[in-house]
Amino acid sequence: MFDKGLFSFADVQHKSWPIIVVTNPKPLLTVQPCKEPVELMATSSHIRMFIFSPSPIQVCEVLQFNRLNLFRLSNILVCQQVKLDQGSWTPCTLTGKNTPLYIVPWQPALYSTGLHVLEVRAKDTSGAEVITKIDFALDDTKPHFTLRSRIALMWDFTTVVCKNLAVILM
C-alpha cells in the first residue's frame, strides 16, 4: 500500500487476522531511498499503521512511552497503543470511520540515529491478537546480519547439493 508516497507491505499467513501494516516509520529492510521520499520519516509527526480485520479492532497498541492508557469507547474497552524500543505501550488513534489508519504522535528526533524497534499490538473483537515488530532507522543505518545469516544468504544451495549428490552417486 502507498501512504504519503512510501510503499509498505506485510507478509502474512492466509486467514491470519488482524493484519498490521506499518507505513511510518518503514521497516528497515524495505526502505528504498532512491525510489521513495524516505526523508519524510525523519520529519513526520506521527507513527502510522493500517490494521485490517473482518472483525472490529478492539485493541491497537504501540510500545513507545512509559505509561499505559486505557479508555472506553461505545462500551468496548479500547486500548490502542504503540511501543518503541524498550518503552511501554502507548494508545493509538483511529483517524476516521472510512479507513483503518491508526496514528500515534511521536518525536522522530529522539530516534534520528541508529537502529530502533517498533512494536504494534492489535486485537479484534473476535479475540484474535497480533504483535508486529519492525526494525527501523531514520539515518543510513544498515541492518546487521550474524555470520551464520550472511553465509546462508551467500550460499548457492543448488550448486552445493548438486556437487554433493554427484560425489555420492559416483
pLDDT, one tens digit per residue, over 129-167 is 888 888 888 888 887 778 887 787 777 777 777 777 777
Residue 68 domain-assigned (yes or no)? yes
Could you give the percent of the chain with pLDDT greater than 90? 11
Residue 21 domain-assigned (yes or no)? yes
> What integer is the mean pLDDT of 77-87?
56
Q: Domain span at residue 47?
A: 2-142
How many domains does the chain fold into?
1
Report pLDDT for 82: 65
Higher pLDDT, 35 or 143: 35
Report pLDDT for 64: 52
pLDDT, one tens digit per residue, over 4-16 is 888 888 888 898 8
pTM of the model: 0.73
Reply yes or no on whether the pLDDT at 114 is more than 70: yes
Residue 137 domain-assigned (yes or no)? yes
Residue 111 domain-assigned (yes or no)? yes
Residue 159 domain-assigned (yes or no)? no
Report pLDDT for 164: 74
pLDDT-derived band of residue 81, with 50, 70 and 90 as boundaries? low
Residue 43 domain-assigned (yes or no)? yes
Residue 161 domain-assigned (yes or no)? no
Residue 147 domain-assigned (yes or no)? no
> What integer is the mean pLDDT of 19-39?
88
User: Which residue, among 89, 94, 45, has the nearest Cα to 74 in the 3D structure?
Assistant: 94
